[in-house]
Structures are given as C-alpha cells and as structure tokens.
Chain A
Amino acid sequence: DTAVSQTPKYLVTQMGNDKSIKCEQNLGHDTMYWYKQDSKKFLKIMFSYNNKELIINETVPNRFSPKSPDKAHLNLHINSLELGDSAVYFCASSLGTGGYTFGSGTRLTVV
C-alpha cells in the first residue's frame, strides 16, 4: 500500500526531449507538491496544488508545467530538457499544517 507513488523511478533522456513524471497519493490529502533535490541535496519547492488549484508556483522555468487532474494526482511535464534539469524530483502530499509525505523520487538524468 504505497501512500505516495511516483513513476518512473529513473529517467535518462537526451537534451531537448520532453518528459513527464506522474504522482498519485491515496492518503486523502488535499495538497500535493513537487520538490527538486539538486546534487548538493538541497530540497526546493517547485509547485503546489490544493484541490486541483495551483497555489504555489516558485521561480521555475516555464518549461516545467504541472497538471493536477484531481486531488489525488499531480503530474509534471518538462519540455526541452537541459543538462541542469538533472536532479531527483520528489512528489509529496499533505493535509493542513501536518507534515508532508514524500514519494520515492524520480531520478532524472539529462545527457
């Protein structure tokens, strides 16, 4: 019973390609997030959706586009991938001011 599941776990792709990462949670949480963890292990928020509404949109290139078809799903589409996009991307969910539950991460490598 995975609480927050992301696919794929690993993604290796060439520069210039477009790719998507999917996330689903079965915790009944109302808010979902995308975080990026860089090579120095710093976790930084990218986006947040509450009940399908975008509520946090940090300074992220517009090549990154999140989409939430319902409150249990949050996907991330990335256009024209660049070398600097290589990182681990984590999906997370929460309810109110409670702590987040993170997915297992997607390690993206752009070559």
Chain B
Amino acid sequence: QKEVEQNSGPLSVPEGAIASLNCTYSDRVSQSFFWYRQYSGKSPELIMSIYSNGDKEDGRFTAQLNKASQYVSLLIRDSQPSDSATYLCAVIVRGSNYKLTFGKGTLLTVNP
C-alpha cells in the first residue's frame, strides 16, 4: 500500500478558478502534513504545513486536514498561470525520525 497517494493529473483549471488538490495517507500515526510546490527544473518549495484537523489559510492557499479520513487537501483560490507547477503532498509519521514521505505529485496547469 502506497504511503502517500495523489492523483498525478494533470489538473487543468482556468485562470481565476479554484484549484483543488487532494492527498490520502495510509499511516494513522502521521503527525505533520505539508504541501510543496515544484516548478519544472527547480527544487521543492514549502507552501503550507498543517498539524491539526481543520482548515489553515495563508493568502490564496487553504490546507484542509481530516485525520479520521486520512485526507489532506490544498485549495488555491484565484488561480494564476504562475501557479502552474507540480504540487507534492508530504507526511511525517510519528516515530519516523522526522522522515518526510512524499506523494508522486499532481501537475497543475492554470490556463490564461
């Protein structure tokens, strides 16, 4: 069973729309959850972290965590062409020596 699963996409949305990215994880003792953005040829960049159930907002980004359903999502409001990138979901499991386990990423394309 894959530890962190994401729909590989590509996910295509028009400029100004809401992009919704989803992620599920298998380990119930996962404790920390992250979303990274990776532009082609660049390194992953942390955009959101979330540690407890509920929503966390930062500008146009909202992360949502539901530990009962083992589900974490990222909403991007007012999507811009500059948001076009691969979005990586990542999880730290308690007791793993802070090992960050990544999903395979979802490619998002925002069309002008």
Contact = CB atoms under 8 A, between A and B. Distances in A.
Given A41-B105, A45-B100, A48-B98, A97 B43 contact: no
- B44, B46, B86: which has the most chain A beta carbons within 10 Å? B44
**8 closest pairs, A vs B, by CB?**
A99-B46, A102-B43, A43-B102, A55-B97, A97-B32, A99-B34, A102-B44, A99-B49
Nearest to B96: A56
B101 interface: yes
Interface of B: 31-32, 34, 36, 38, 42-46, 49, 51, 86, 88, 92, 97-102, 104-105
A66 interface: no
Contacts of A97: 31-32, 51, 92, 98
Contacts of B97: 48, 50, 55-56
A105 B43 contact: yes
Nearest to A90: B43
A41 B86 contact: yes
Main secondary structure, interface of A, reads: strand
A101 B92 CA distance: 14
Contacts of B105: 41-42
Contacts of B49: 98-99
Given A41-B104, A41-B105, A92-B100, 7 more contacts: A40-B104, A44-B102, A50-B97, A94-B98, A99-B34, A100-B100, A103-B43
A76 B99 CA distance: 18
